[in-house]
Amino acid sequence: MWRLKVVLSHLDGRLKSDPALQVAPCSSGFPQASAADVVVVHGRRTAICKAGRGGHDPDELLSAVLTRVLQDVKLRPEQLGDISVVMASQRLCLCPLLIDSVHQGCKQWPT
């Protein structure tokens, strides 16, 4: 939670010295869908990486990527709920993916 707070503070320019973190239940497993539920799937990459010998802090790299993603999708940091970050691998980028693999588990949309 603290890491997420630090990363989000990079986006809005404020970092509080006293972490007033709150625990909020994640509703991802909640069985009922709401009309207010929105899932944004978007991605960005950095041209550089940490790779164990890089001089760049992972938080700085993530901050740059998240800032750009928020600009792309026109969201403010306070509008976000859960964030999922994955690292792309070169092997995965070379493998073609079918559209069915992207929508796995999303076969039925709520009405």
Cα separation, 61 vs 84, in Å, equals 15
pLDDT class of 103 with cuts at 50, 70, 90: very low
pLDDT of amino acid 101 = 47
Instruction: Give the residue-averaged pLDDT of 35-64.
Output: 73
Proportion of the chain above pLDDT 90, given as a percent: 0
Instruction: Give the residue-averaged pLDDT of 66-95.
Output: 77
Domain ranges for the chain: 2-19+42-102
Least confident range of 28-32, 37-41, 57-61, 82-86: 28-32
**One-letter amino acid for residue 28 of the chain:** S
**Of the candidates 89, 102, 5, 101, which has an alpha carbon nearest to the alpha carbon of residue 51?**
89
**Of the candidates 47, 68, 50, 69, which has an alpha carbon nearest to the alpha carbon of residue 59?**
50
Q: In sequence order, what are the residues at sequence separation of 6 or more whose Cβ sits closer than 8 angstroms to the Cβ of residue 49? A: 61
Instruction: Quickly list H helices, the chain.
Output: 2-12, 58-73, 90-94, 99-102
Highest mean pLDDT: which range of 3-17, 33-47, 89-103: 33-47
